[in-house]
Amino acid sequence: EPEVTQTPSHQVTQMGQEVILRCVPISNHLYFYWYRQILGQKVEFLVSFYNNEISEKSEIFDDQFSVERPDGSNFTLKIRSTKLEDSAMYFCASSGPGNIRYNEQFFGPGTRLTVL
């Protein structure tokens, strides 16, 4: 069964450093998402991406965040200058293709980001 994969599984970085979290969505999907979950809290939507552009973003997704689909398979989340409060589990999800009505989202296993 196809699945969403994410790398790395755990990323440790120093405050102020840039990090790139990588995701490989399911191959025929067209919609891509990033969510995050701070330890002990609920899952929060960050951004959705369709047709090579951001379709929606939350208040959390400020100028420090960016997303990119650099090739036909990867979907990345970049945090330019990490803060302590960016420590969280980051989940990538995908859905589609576009002619499927119900669009259930398939989630990856997550990347745990720890900012020191």
The C-alpha atoms of residue 41 and residue 113 are separated, in whole angstroms, by: 15
Say whether residue 4 binds other proteins (CB under 8 A).
yes
**Does position 30 bind other proteins by CB under 8 A?**
yes
- Tell which positions 55-114 bind other proteins, by CB under 8 A: 55-56, 58, 89, 91, 93, 95-96, 98-99, 101-110, 112
Residue 89 φ/ψ region, left for φ over 0, alpha for ψ in the -120 to 50 degree band, beta for the rest:
beta
State which of residues 21, 33, 61, 86 lies at the interface with other proteins (CB under 8 A): 33
The distance of closest approach from Cβ of residue 102 to other proteins in the complex, given in angstroms and rounded to an integer, is: 6
Of 9, 59, 58, 2, nearest to 33 by C-alpha is 58
Which residues pair with residue 21 across a beta bridge?
77
Of these, 19, 48, 67, 77, which contacts other proteins (CB under 8 A)?
A: 48
